[in-house]
């Protein structure tokens, strides 16, 4: 099937475009697709049952399936970034904070702080996924979520010894440790270089204050902070990716999602975004390959500086 391009005007009639009908488009256009080749674009309310205010998209009424053919990296106008694990090393900082607070309060020197940190993170991943999928209601503020998970852990038989020595102020301090994670060595330099030619924005489950504090601490020079707290759900709910493109006034095909987590990239790709996989420590999945190498993501890099060099070269 050949691509069929139809023009549309922006709402303020300032320009006529060919291609994707963004939420700003007043006329109906989408590029017709070969169903075997391209993923469908969600129509109407794509959020879970408890997520209101989803983005509406306009489609020609006489065509069943539409999507945008992925464009080359030269068409990318904005790069949006996962933060935890992709740009900052959460594990090292949280283990250090736990050890420090444990030592100060007289915790056993045999305490497995790495296991505690991993369980805290796993609880966060589980809860955010359940909320994103509409399975449970829950807070969209990650500070509240982190504190709730911490309370559950400290009440458990496994960790109740720490629960007895850590009071409210200690728990507040530990929760705030997630605001001050150190960046990977290449993160700040790479973002500063990329910022010279592209819009760079955080798309993170982190709440706004957490992301602002982290940006200042790790020198992450964002053009925008697109907290999922403001978008009405957590990743990988569709409204987070579509909402990011909406607020940047770009079609998803002109946005690249950058992450060290393949689930994040698969979700972004399903809505027409370009995808960049960053290899990071133990999160590396060896089988993740670029499309040029027979894989599923558009680009695979080892650092943000490598990505900046690639994008700026394009």
pLDDT tens for residues 276-314? 999 997 667 778 999 999 999 999 999 999 999 999 886
> How far apart, in whole angstroms, are the C-alpha atoms of residue 151 and residue 161?
13
User: Which listed CATH number (3.40.1500.10, 3.40.190.10, 3.40.50.1000, 1.10.3720.10) goes with 74-87+183-313?
Assistant: 3.40.50.1000
Give pLDDT, residue 73. Answer: 86
Residue 123, C-beta contacts closer than 8 angstroms, at least 6 positions apart? 149, 152, 153
Max Cα separation, the chain?
69
pLDDT tens for residues 89-117? 999 999 999 999 999 999 999 999 999 99
**190 half-sphere exposure, CB direction, 13 A CA radius:** 23
pLDDT tens for residues 18-55? 333 333 333 222 232 233 333 344 444 344 333 433 33
Strand order in the sheet with 255-259: 224-227, 199-204, 78-81, 255-259, 274-278, 299-301
Give pLDDT, residue 282. Answer: 65
Tokens coding 123: 């609880």
Phi, psi of 303 (to 5 degrees): -165, 165
Give pLDDT, residue 23. Answer: 37
Domain 90-179: assigned CATH number? 1.10.150.240
* Mean pLDDT of the chain, nearest integer: 82
Domain residue spans of the chain: 74-87+183-313, 90-179
């Amino acid at each position: 099937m050949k691509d069929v391009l139809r023009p549309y005007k922006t709402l303020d009639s300032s320009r006529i475009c060919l291609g994707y009908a963004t939420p700003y488009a007043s006329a109906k256009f989408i590029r017709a697709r070969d169903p075997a080749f391209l993923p469908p674009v969600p129509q109407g309310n794509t959020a879970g049952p408890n997520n209101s205010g989803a983005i509406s998209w306009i489609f020609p009424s006489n065509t069943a399936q539409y999507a945008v053919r992925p464009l080359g990296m030269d068409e990318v106008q904005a790069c949006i970034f996962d933060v935890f694990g992709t740009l900052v090393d959460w594990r090292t900082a949280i283990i250090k904070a736990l050890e420090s607070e444990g030592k100060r309060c007289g915790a056993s020197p045999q305490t497995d702080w790495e296991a505690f940190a991993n369980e805290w993170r796993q609880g966060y991943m589980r809860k955010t996924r359940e909320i994103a999928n509409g399975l449970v209601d829950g807070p969209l503020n990650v500070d509240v979520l982190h504190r709730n998970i911490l309370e559950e852990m400290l009440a458990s038989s496994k960790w109740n010894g720490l629960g007895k020595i850590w009071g409210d102020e200690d728990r507040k301090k530990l929760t705030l440790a997630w605001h001050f994670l150190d960046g990977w060595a290449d993160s700040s330099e790479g973002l500063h270089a990329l910022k010279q030619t592209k819009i760079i924005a955080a798309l993170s489950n982190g709440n706004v204050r957490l992301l602002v504090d982290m940006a200042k601490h790790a020198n992450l020079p964002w053009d925008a902070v697109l907290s999922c707290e403001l978008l009405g759900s957590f990743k990988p709910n569709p409204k987070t990716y579509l909402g990011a493109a909406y607020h940047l006034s770009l079609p998803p095909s002109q946005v690249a999602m950058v992450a060290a987590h393949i689930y994040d990239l698969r979700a972004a790709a399903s809505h027409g975004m370009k995808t960049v996989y960053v290899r990071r420590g133990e999160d590396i999945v060896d089988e993740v390959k670029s499309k040029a190498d027979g894989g599923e993501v558009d680009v695979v890099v080892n650092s943000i500086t490598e990505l900046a060099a690639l994008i700026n070269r394009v």
